[in-house]
A and B are shown apart, each in its own frame.
Chain A
Amino acid sequence: MSGTERNGDTATLSGAEILIRALTDQGVEVIFGYPGGAVLPIYDALFAQNSIRHILVRQEGGAVHAAEGYARATGKPGVVLVTSGPGATNAVTGLTDAMMDSIPIVCLTGQVASHLIGNDAFQEADTIGITRPCTKHNYLVQDTDEMGRIVHEAFYVATNGRPGPVVIDLPKDICVNQGRYEKPDLANLRHKTYRPPTVGKAESVAAAVEMMARAKRPIFYTGGGLINSGPEACARLQELVRLTGFPITNTLMGLGAYPASDERFLGMLGMHGTYEANNAMHDCDVMICLGARFDDRITGRLDAFSPSSKKIHVDVDPSSINKNIRVDLPIIGDVGRVLEQMLACWKDGGYTPDEAALRDWWTTIQKWRSRDCLAFTQGPDIIKPQYAVQRLYELTKDLDTYITTEVGQHQMWAAQFYKFEKPNRWMTSGGLGTMGYGLPAAVGVQIAHPNSLVVDISGEASFMMNVQELSTAMQYKLPLKIFILNNRWMGMVRQWQQLMHGSRFSETYSEALPDFVKLAECFGATGMVIEQPSELDASIRKMLDTDGLVIADVRVAQEENCFPMVPSGAAHNEMILGDDGAAERPKVTGEGMALV
């Protein structure tokens, strides 16, 4: 295999060199990775070139989250390079996260030499077997001549159709051996069998527009598919909402697809969504679901989900259709393309919405809105976490800001109180709910946007999960602002224990926390503690004005719960509201307790 005598005019290169060439041809600018024995030839090839920048993380899990942050903030695929065995297994959480949230990732994993595979060699793991269920597809390269084709195919698969993570497992000998590489015609690259859908069926689009025009109580329910489809898709969504005058709600993954400041936006829906969004979803007569997947955080109890509506579902992945909720009109296609078709159909057909019915619908919605479900009372002594996010928003909204989060209460408060006007500004772990996502994701975002403000809204428990990535941020002088809502609890778990497990707070206290100021200082960063509501604004300004990385340890009310909340097992319009009397609260059933 390793001979250099080959026919044809293409020069032979080592597998590692072919890999780097193919990545360069794909326009890859950044790789997040961590070296090791099996990937030494690749690191050698990286050393010999200047077109691709390598960002050295501190643990491979961080590399995948950083690549996810990079991908979400740019719309480009994120690229990861890790070694065999533990390098690959550490990447699994990030791969699963990217799979659940449909993030395009190409993850290159080292592997022991071909002849050692299956022999329990040092740092060998069955990476293909382990990553099969948590990737969109994976490849084991078995021939150096195949390297180039597989790399390009992997990018095609990761970025076309419903995006997702793709693993390429690279045995060490394949990277050392010589092979041929020719740059393919990337614009016309087609997969042998994989044909992702693009446009929707014209008659289905026409039927959908017809339904929309006749709707009395319509709602747009839009998700992360809009972000994945791109800024044009989001612009088309805005146009369609403006033309129809329908209310719109976004999922957690869809925040930013529609400007939050617009009066037609009802806020996020779902388990911690707004009263008006969830009630409008429940009572609507036509639901237009665009690039969302009727996730269990959205639907609540399935048999009580929006019982009287006709449902239109636009999704690029046919397996999302009728998975949880039976819909009346499925449209398979890229949501941006389908929106383009819908707009054309609406305009060409001279359709108008039912204005009278819409007026009544909006009156009903205003009634729900006036319930002011996100209200909280900020006293003089202790900072409410909602207030902290609200002030952060007010002081950063006019800046070029990107927000990442970890997972838990702080994440939901960020989703509720930080208002996103544009797509790609909000990076969070939705489907998998991976604590420790936010800090490495922020690293990826800041690498992509070095001059922008990147804030990781964090919780003290989540922050500790990938705290080692502070070192990465320091190495590349990334001026991240880490805004820890520190309530000294694993807050969301504590909240569930309080509401569903008789306040038996089993193992959820954040014991033995570090002094975050000293922690920042020991890495060479700046730390600050914010304790008084009265000093919050000044402290946030100081954080923003400080050069370099800052950790702000915001001491917030410890027992604060995140409301509204649809308890598990309840219908999506049965919400616990923050200032409810206990009598009004939906009962948590035994069945609900068994649900996550």
Chain B
Amino acid sequence: MSELSKIAPKHTIAVLVDNEPGVLARVVGLFSGRGYNIESLTVAEVDAGRDRSRINIVTSGNEMIIDQIRAQLERLIPVCRVVDLTEDGPSVERELALVKVVAQGENRIEALRVADIFRARAVDSTLNSFVFEVTGDSGKINAFIDLMQPLGLAEISRTGVVAIARGADAM
């Protein structure tokens, strides 16, 4: 995380793109080439029939930078639409994490209790380890990870944020 992101507000931006080779490289190259921050990025095909993919990017910056990011994204030829979910009204954000905890004895039991509170599921187990699956907004995932830290946290895999606007309007 850069210095900038600690002070500048975060924005979640959804980008609908033509699902053609290299389109992700264009988007990522734009961010690195112009010095914008990427805190998380997810991408997947969302409309196979019409060959569209959706990229969700969590970035940060003041208003002028966020406006630039949006305009620069729209300038890319295969980009169909750009929506700043943070700016354009309420939205739902979710992230999934797989968290490996290696623990025995009391710590192992405590890890299960915490997982229960967070509605995390154990998706793998050995006699001295668990892999938990936890979903929620990034804050919840961070809190879960923080709690697991002293209990034997060994490895984390996170999807990054996926987000969608609330309400009936579609992108």
Contact = CB atoms under 8 A, between A and B. Distances in A.
A104 to B, nearest CB: 14
Contacts of A191: 77
Given A129-B25, A132-B26, A193-B18, A322 B68 contact: yes
A318 interface: yes
A37 interface: no
A128 B74 CA distance: 20
Interface string A188-200: 0001111000000
Contact of B71 (A136, A192, A194, A319): A319
A140 B21 contact: yes
A322 B64 contact: yes
A133 B78 contact: no
Contacts of A132: 22, 25-26, 29
Given A129-B25, A133-B33, A192-B18, A319 B75 contact: yes
Contacts of A201: none
User: What bracket does the count of chain B residues touching chain A fall in?
Assistant: 10 to 19
A323 interface: yes
B21 to A, nearest CB: 7
A137 interface: yes
B77 A322 contact: no
Contacts of B111: none
B25 A193 contact: no
| Dominant secondary structure at the A interface | loop
Contacts of A136: 77
A593 B72 CA distance: 29
B147 interface: no
A180 to B, nearest CB: 21
Contact of B77 (A133, A137, A319, A321): A137
Contacts of A183: none
A157 B26 CA distance: 16
Contacts of B75: 317-319
A326 interface: yes
A318 B71 contact: yes
A137 B80 CA distance: 14
B77 A193 contact: yes
A326 B71 contact: no
A69 B25 CA distance: 31
Interface in B4-26: 18, 21-22, 25-26
B72 A194 contact: no
A136 to B, nearest CB: 7
B67 interface: yes
B79 A318 contact: no
Contacts of A192: 18
Given A132-B29, A133-B33, A322-B67, A194 B74 contact: no
Contacts of A140: 21-22
B52 to A, nearest CB: 10
Interface in B54-93: 64, 67-68, 71-72, 74-75, 77-80
Contacts of B67: 322
Contact of A323 (B22, B26, B68, B79): B68
Given A132-B22, A132-B26, A133-B29, A193 B71 contact: no
Nearest to B68: A323
A512 to B, nearest CB: 38
A596 to B, nearest CB: 16
B80 A326 contact: no
A194 B71 CA distance: 14
Contacts of B80: 193
Given A132-B26, A193-B80, A321 B18 contact: no
A374 B160 CA distance: 59
Contacts of A193: 18, 77-80
Interface string A301-319: 0000000000000000111
A44 to B, nearest CB: 28
Interface in A307-364: 317-319, 321-323, 326
Contacts of B72: 319
Most chain B CB neighbours (cut-off 10 Å) among A133, A136, A193: A193
A427 B77 CA distance: 27
Interface string B75-118: 10111100000000000000000000000000000000000000
Contacts of A128: 22
Nearest to A128: B22
A193 B75 CA distance: 11
Given A193-B80, A318-B74, A326 B64 contact: yes
A182 to B, nearest CB: 22
A318 B82 CA distance: 13
A198 to B, nearest CB: 16
A132 B67 CA distance: 22
Contacts of B18: 192-193
A485 to B, nearest CB: 35
A137 B30 CA distance: 12
A111 B68 CA distance: 34
A104 B64 CA distance: 29
Contacts of B21: 140
A154 to B, nearest CB: 10
A269 B26 CA distance: 35
Contacts of A194: 77
Given A129-B25, A193-B80, 4 more contacts: A128-B22, A192-B18, A322-B68, A323-B68
Interface of B: 18, 21-22, 25-26, 29-30, 33, 64, 67-68, 71-72, 74-75, 77-80
10 contacts: A128-B22, A133-B29, A133-B30, A140-B21, A140-B22, A193-B77, A193-B78, A194-B77, A317-B75, A322-B64
Q: Which 3 A-B pairs have the closest CB atoms?
A: A319-B71, A137-B77, A318-B71
